[in-house]
Amino acid sequence: MERQHSLSGLWLPLITPFRDGQLDTPSLRRLVAHYAAQPIDGFILGATTGEGMSLDDDEIRALLAITRAVLADAGRPIPIYLGLSGSDTRKLIKTLQHVQDWGADGYLVACPYYTRPSQRGLLEHFSALADSADRPILIYNIPYRTGVNLGNETMLRLAERTNIVGVKDCCADPAQTFDLIRHKPSGFAVLTGEDPHFYSALSSGADGAILASAHVYTSGFAGIGDKLSAGDQPGALADWRRLADIPRLLFSEPSPGAIKHWLWRTGLIDSPEMRLPMVPVSAELARKIEAAMAVADQP
């Protein structure tokens, strides 16, 4: 039986624009239209970069509906995955059932946070979700946020399921990532989510990236992947050297504050507003962003 989808390329974990405490739908439409014209292979909505844990059901529905409509108008039928998380398997199964008609093509599901289950617990958790989901699941392994690392032995057992299509890999262990790439089955995607390690992950054979930094210099980041795929390693490395400071800048304070500030200053969103406990960038970082923008070729 073939895997439902094969994921690759550059995916954007889209920020969620707010204004005066509400979802800023005009800015959202502007954002999606902008990135629909960029070399993006998929969107992640309502995940970490999208401040998903601060969104209510109506806002998530609106995010999906507006993004879908704008992409249709632009003639870009690229996939949209919805970020989900939780530490109670039963509740998360109910959530999957609750959102199944909201228009997502698949789900990015983080490992259970805080509870730190064993590898057997992680295996049974994701197996139960896969049994219940009507769309593909992309696992989000980010132990420095959740407190638990999904090891490769467990990941490879989960990869045997055709509707578990890959992993957003933020394990922060290059050796673990490389071994997973070496042993993964055909069609199971390893997409790096570690922006500073974008080039090295692709060079090691990752299938692509879910890259918050690609909100800026989008075509530049996409071009690195294209050059590596074409065998132009020197050209890709030269491009990465020019862009490597961007992830450091954008993640120098909790994300997505810096990204929102950059997009606001370019006019793509009407406000850099965040929802507590997330706060806008410091005055010092704002100055650094605006200095970087002064030499930028594109938003």
Q: pLDDT tens for residues 1-11?
A: 455 557 999 99
Which pLDDT value is given to residue 295? 83
Task: Give the separation between CA 169 and CA 37, rounded to whole angstroms.
Answer: 26
Which residues does the annotation mark as catalytic?
140, 168
Q: Is 210 annotated among the ligand-binding residues?
A: yes
pLDDT (mean) for 181-197: 96
> Is 0.85 surpassed by the pTM of this model?
yes
| Residue 3 confidence (pLDDT) | 52
49 is in an annotated binding site: yes
Give the percent of the chain with pLDDT over 70: 97
How far apart are the C-alpha atoms of 231 and 80, rounded to whole Å? Answer: 29
In three-state form (DSSP H/G/I as H, E/B as E, the rest C), the secondary structure along 134-172 is: CCCEEEEECHHHHCCCCCHHHHHHHCCCCCEEEEEECCC
Average pLDDT of the chain is 95
pLDDT higher than 90, residue 234: yes
Separation between Cα atoms, residue 260 and residue 263, nearest integer Å: 5
Per-residue pLDDT, 298? 46
Domains in the chain, ordered, with CATH? 9-241 (3.20.20.70)
Token pair of 39 as six digits: 């070399």
Average pLDDT over residues 69-85: 97
What is the tens place of the pLDDT at every residue in 86-140? 999 999 999 999 999 999 999 999 999 999 999 999 999 999 999 999 999 999 9
